[in-house]
Amino acid sequence: MREGMNDQVMLVNNGKDFNHENLRQLFDLGEHDLPALLSYANQIRKKQVGNEVHLRAIIEFSNYCSCHCLYCGLRAENRKISRYRLTNQEIFQSVQTAVNYGLKTIVLQSGEDQFYRPDDIARLIEFIKKHFDVAVTLSLGEHFRQSYRIWRNAGADRYLLKHETADPILYQKLRPGKNLQDRIDCLMNLKDLGYQVGSGNMVGLPGQTLTSLIEDVLLMKKLNIEMAGIGPFLPHPDTPLGCYSAGSLSQTLKILAITRIVLPTIHLPATTAISTINDNGRRLALESGANVIMPNFTPLYVRNQYVIYPQKIDIIEDPEKSMKNLKKLLKEMNRTISMSYGHAIKIKKYSYYKKEAYHGFGSQ
């Protein structure tokens, strides 16, 4: 570690003593200091969660969505994509393929699709848990606590619900009709129901400030989440944000590294979005604190319809090729594939957060 940076990093190390101001010092580090910061996060990753990489098979089972997120290609207003829903049979087939490759977690993801009743999803979870030896993660957006409860009782282990941005005003602009506090309430409900909970944010959103990026990390710390999906914003031409620039690789890696420093035992994916902005993105993320990869097991014939952003890197890769590339990369990096379910390292009980509402910046 470069001298001079030590103090700043030590300040926030293990989350013992950090706040907006000392985190800002890390965010302010220039390009020159970035390699040392990433390498420090990599050391923490190694010490805290080891060399194992957890593979989570993502199955994008429906691209219908009733939401209007300005950034997303699946938004209800986008009439240019054809919509699909996989049949249960197709979903089970995809699960079987993932299991054949040795994956121990299935991530069921979709838009907020009103077609499904809570019980439909519960039956799906029950079937998967009964017939396959896997953990189940859901990523279905915002729902009533009662639905989350039904799915948890059906056997779901984890839930991914990115808070997207910790700036409540920007959040409302980017997700018309929604608000950040509701999202946070969902995350707290999920925690309360015993899910391992993942959140996360996009980096480089139009209108996003450095202050709000720092708050993204602080919010995840405050919520004591177990996983964080952090990736660059990528403009989709058929959305209102189509003409904006993408988030940068270096900023995304920096935030990934800082998240590892602040939440040392967290599960951090090297996201598809990072691989999409840079061919070497997956490797760089794995060297900056990431310890999870989410290979895509959605059937190839619908994958090009789940276009949340363009040139999504995994759109054309079949499981055979993607698993081969993945194994090669991990071997080169001296990293092993985890054979476990990859549950949260420490399933801690969140304590104080529930008692107070989130009022935006400076509310800690």
Positions in the binding site for ligand SAM (CB under 6 A)? 71-72, 74, 109, 111-112, 139, 141, 161-162, 164, 202, 231, 233-234, 236, 273, 308-309
Name the nearest CA neighbour of 232 among 4, 71, 21.
71
5 binds ligand SF4 (CB under 6 A): no
For the bound state, the minimum distance from the C-beta of residue 176 to ligand SF4, rounded and expressed in Å, comes to: 10
Residue 262 interacts, among ligand SAM, ligand SF4, none and using kind-specific CB cut-offs from 5 to 8 Å, with none
Residue 185 CB contacts under 8 Å (≥ 6 apart), including other chains: none
Residue 61 CB contacts under 8 Å (≥ 6 apart), including other chains: 85, 86, 90, 91, 108, 109, 110, 298
67 binds ligand SF4 (CB under 6 A): yes
Residue 159 one-letter amino acid: Y
Residue 273 interacts, among ligand SAM, ligand SF4, none and using kind-specific CB cut-offs from 5 to 8 Å, with ligand SAM
Can you tell me which residue has the tokens 């015993």?
A: 194
Out of 41, 44, 65, 270, the only residue in the binding site for ligand SF4 (CB under 6 A) is 65
For the bound state, the minimum distance from the C-beta of residue 142 to ligand SAM, rounded and expressed in Å, comes to: 7
For the bound state, the minimum distance from the C-beta of residue 347 to ligand SF4, rounded and expressed in Å, comes to: 26
Evaluate whether 254 touches 301 at the Cβ level (below 8 Å): no
| Binding to ligand SF4, residues 94-123 (CB under 6 A) | 111-112
Residue 151 interacts, among ligand SF4, ligand SAM, none and using kind-specific CB cut-offs from 5 to 8 Å, with none
Buried b (16+ CB within 10 A) or exposed e, 200-227: bbbbbbbebeeebbbbbbbbbbbbbbbb
For the bound state, the minimum distance from the C-beta of residue 11 to ligand SAM, rounded and expressed in Å, comes to: 29
- Enter the tokens of residue 133: 């030896």
312 binds ligand SF4 (CB under 6 A): no
Q: What is the DSSP secondary-structure string of 18-49?
A: --HHHHHHHHT--TTTHHHHHHHHHHHHHHHH
The mark string for 134-173 relative to ligand SF4 (x by CB under 6 A, - otherwise) is -------x--------------------------------
- Provide the binding-site residues for ligand SF4, judged by CB under 6 A: 65, 67, 69, 72, 74-75, 111-112, 141, 308
